[in-house]
Amino acid sequence: MDLVIRDVEVVDGSGGDSYRADVALDGGRIAAIVKEGAAAGCQRPTARRVLDAEGLALSPGFIDMHAHSDLALLRDPDHSAKAAQGVTLEVLGQDGLSYAPVDDRTLTEVRRAITGWNGDGSGIDFDWRTVGEYLDRLDRSHGGRGIAVNAAYLVPQGTVRMYAVGWDDRPATDAELNRMRRLVAEGMEQGAVGMSSGLTYTPGMYAPDSELTELCGVVALYGGYYCPHHRSYGAGALQAYEEMVALTRDAGCALHLAHATMNFGVNKGKAPDLLSLLDRALDAGADISLDTYPYTPGCTTLVALLPSWASEGGPETILARLRDEAASERIRHHLEEIGSDGCHGVPVEWDTVEISGVSDPGLARFVGRRVDGWTTARRLLVEDRLGTTILQHVGHEENVRAIMRHRVHTGGSDGILRGLKPHPRAYGTFPHYLGRYVRELGVLSLEECVAHLTSRPAARLRLPDRGLIREGYRADLVLFDPTTVAAGSTYASPRRLPTGIPHVLINGTFVIEDGKRTDALPGRSIRRAPAT
């Protein structure tokens, strides 16, 4: 054997009771599990290396169901932001906007549109255009060595609409809809696990339900799932959730609700209403799952708050409107008095909006400050060329706790890694679940929580050999100390790494060893399993 993990408390991802065992690894897989007190004559496994894990728990690797590492994995071989948390797989292509499939025009436009999420991509050779080429690029990154953690991909519906229709707020023509169907089908055939949408982001938000239903029908043919950032997490949130449930029911498509929160003052204490809605749909046979991060603030770009009409036409048109006094006043009126669709139908409360990052270093003095009104917001949008990221302090702790208990809940960081002061969820989501919500608050038991972060997402992704500690499964594993594991990241110091996670293995290779990042790059693209 390559490695034996000796005397470890196995939390196997099933949600069942933990047990003490020796776990042997060989060839990147779990080769043997010998439980303490096994029958006489059952020898303890031996290996070239033995790791004494007394006092540690062993779980499957954590699966980040909502990640924004689309360029970070290419840019940063270390990627400790996720590896140090015990994340062994990230799902990319989120919120309807990413970098494949594209043509030259679309690539230029999407790079501008999500600079606030991922940077502008300077220094990266964008030598792919299709989903398959992007996944291939992940596999041959960093001199052909690979990437830090495994990655799966969702076809981004907003990018697909940008490619086929452009930035116009109008229904697609029959020819454009057929082209979008083909792009989604090609992405699924090339290995995507599903399709995402950002229905408060342009241009994806311009798609009517009929168009989304058609595209979800394509996803369903390939056994994938639909992952919408739906049309509102504020005013009308319940109706927005109902819309997605009905849409995917009509399309016959599995549904995974992205960062399933109930935010803003209008939704305080209303998580039970959402959970009742989901339970009714599940009991009727719907295939639904969701992910959340264990924090109350959200994180997005400042430009995302604008009303959809102000974003029609793309980034340069947005900037022209912002520079025009009459158009700027109309935007302000919608934001502050009516409630824009970009701000979830709720009039913006500027004191809840904190600047977390800027693209122009000359504007760094604004980072960490709350926005004091439209004048400042407008100035930042123009001078930072729409590249400003924000935290929105609009969540409710009781909603966060209620939703994370649900039977179809999984974990997702929604981690934006750029900016001087990113959301601490990017570096802390998974240890925060284990330290804060398991050990300190008891919201979930350790076994329940690990199941939420491992086997449940693996089942949604239809991974036949990940998400559980079983003989023959991939050795994507995390060793942590249940008594000390905690997020190091805070709002003041968001890039501090976790504590209490000394070892992380991907495909049997240490990426974190004795609490330090190794130079290994064992991560690879994880492609959709064929539909059965």
Residue 172 CB partners (closer than 8 Å, separation 6+): 161, 164, 165, 180, 207, 211
- Average pLDDT over the chain reads 96
Dihedral (CA of 477, 479, 484, 487) sign: negative
Residue 361 CB partners (closer than 8 Å, separation 6+): none
Conformational region of residue 166, where left means phi above 0, alpha means psi within -120 to 50, and beta covers everything else:
left
Q: How confident is residue 517, by pLDDT bands cut at 50, 70 and 90? A: very high
List the structure tokens of 360. 């122009």
Q: How confident is residue 306, by pLDDT bands cut at 50, 70 and 90? A: very high
pLDDT digits over 247-287, tens only? 999 999 999 999 999 999 999 999 999 999 999 999 999 99
- Residues making up the chain, counted from first to last: 532
* Collapsed DSSP state (helix, strand, coil) of residue 352: helix
The pairing of beta strand 477-480 with beta strand 57-60: antiparallel
Distance CA 27, CA 45 (A): 15
Residue 182 CB partners (closer than 8 Å, separation 6+): none
Query: Is there a contact between 62 and 455 (Cβ–Cβ < 8 Å)?
Result: no
Judge residue 42's burial from the number of C-beta atoms within 10 Å of its C-beta, 0-12 exposed, 13-18 middle, 19 or more buried: exposed
Query: Is there a contact between 492 and 459 (Cβ–Cβ < 8 Å)?
Result: no
For residue 340, pLDDT over 70 is answered with yes
State the average pLDDT over residues 114-131. 95
Q: How far is CA 197 from the centre of its chain?
A: 12
Q: Which amino acid is at 440?
A: E
For residue 124, pLDDT over 90 is answered with yes
Q: How confident is residue 174, by pLDDT bands cut at 50, 70 and 90? A: very high
pLDDT digits over 483-493, tens only? 999 999 999 99
Distance CA 261, CA 240 (A): 12
State the average pLDDT over residues 366-388. 96
Q: How is 249-290 classified by DSSP, letter by letter?
A: HHHT-EEEETT----SGGGTT-HHHHHHHHHHHHHTT--EEE
